[in-house]
Amino acid sequence: MASSASDPAAAAAAVTADAAVSAAAAHRRPLVGVTTYMQDAAWGVWSTEAVVLPAEYVRMVVTAGAVPVLLPPHGTDTSVLDALDGLILTGGADVGPDRYGAQPHPRTQAQPWRDDHEFALFAAARDRGLPVLGICRGLQVVNAALGGTLHQHVPEVLGTDRYQPAPGEYGQMIARTTPGSRIAAVVGESITAPCYHHQSVDRVGDGLTVTAHSDDGVIEVLEGATDEPWLLAVQWHPEHNPVDVRVVAAFVDAARTHAARGNATSGHATSGHATASRDSSGHDTSGHGTASAAEVPAGTPSRSPRVDPQEGTSA
């Protein structure tokens, strides 16, 4: 049988197939991983522990043009990222102070199993060059994962509870951006946005740049270097601000670019995602196979400790 190299018709067919795959990838909505958590919940006649994510996150991702893929904090397997185009680290409970070498403050309420999950996903996403968007707690995860530290209770630092005024009540803040930054390109010189957190960035993590502050100095945005995989993290809650779809849309654009780049280098792989390479024995040689034991939180509780939103959650 003649090879396509010596068969013009076969070669032309291969080019046509490649073009069709590229066109399909260009119109495919990016698949975006979104972290979730576990909490007691009630619906209908049922009340039990559930995997939880506020619906605003899902609506935000869909509105921005992507497909959300929910990632529960149990049975973590970072190889799922091989099928995704980006990762969103969502808001929630405090990051455990052991992650940045501090003793817990009396008001800190952490969920170690969630930290295990999200720190593993973030590291794996960076290894794969995936775009990452951090939201509230997500910004704090990014900072701690890259060697930064946190103020564990902002009211003791600033003398105000304006960032978390009451249980279930969002504060409002104005963030002023750095000219030329990613966030400035998206929102302009400033943005007024809802916030709900009692912790904030203290020492900035390695390779991160502060590109927005509130008027009292709280760090509101961290960005990665422009020559590295796309990374942006905001301390506020864009999912609760219709104007902030711009922030998420910028992330989705980065995810779309990543997907198109993956498709361009993957030949006839119709999904446009990298697949694990294997040796003759079938072992994964790509470094992106199933999670190691260290990536699967062995201590994940059968019942998640409840976090009081008044005390320790960053929403």
What is the set of active-site residues? 136, 237, 239
Residue showing tokens 């961290």: 222
Do residues 76 and 117 make contact, with C-beta atoms less than 8 angstroms apart?
A: yes
Length reported for the chain: 315
- With vertex at residue 222, the alpha carbon angle to CA 288 and CA 66, rounded to the nearest 5 degrees, is 55
Residue showing tokens 């943005």: 191
* DSSP per residue, the chain: ---GGG-HHHHHHHHHHHHHHHHHHHHSPPEEEEE-EEEEEEETTEEEEEEE--HHHHHHHHHTT-EEEEE-SSS--GGGGGG-SEEEE---BBPPGGGGT-PPPTT--B-HHHHHHHHHHHHHHHHHT--EEEETHHHHHHHHHTT--EES-HHHHHS--TTS-BTTB-EEEEEEEPTTSHHHHHH-SEEEEEE--S-EESSPPTT-EEEEEETT--EEEEE--TTSS-EEEESS-GGG-GGGHHHHHHHHHHHHHHHHHHHHTSTT-TT------B-TTS-B-SS-SSPPGGGS-TT--SSPPP--TTTTB--
CB atoms closer than 10 angstroms to residue 222: 27
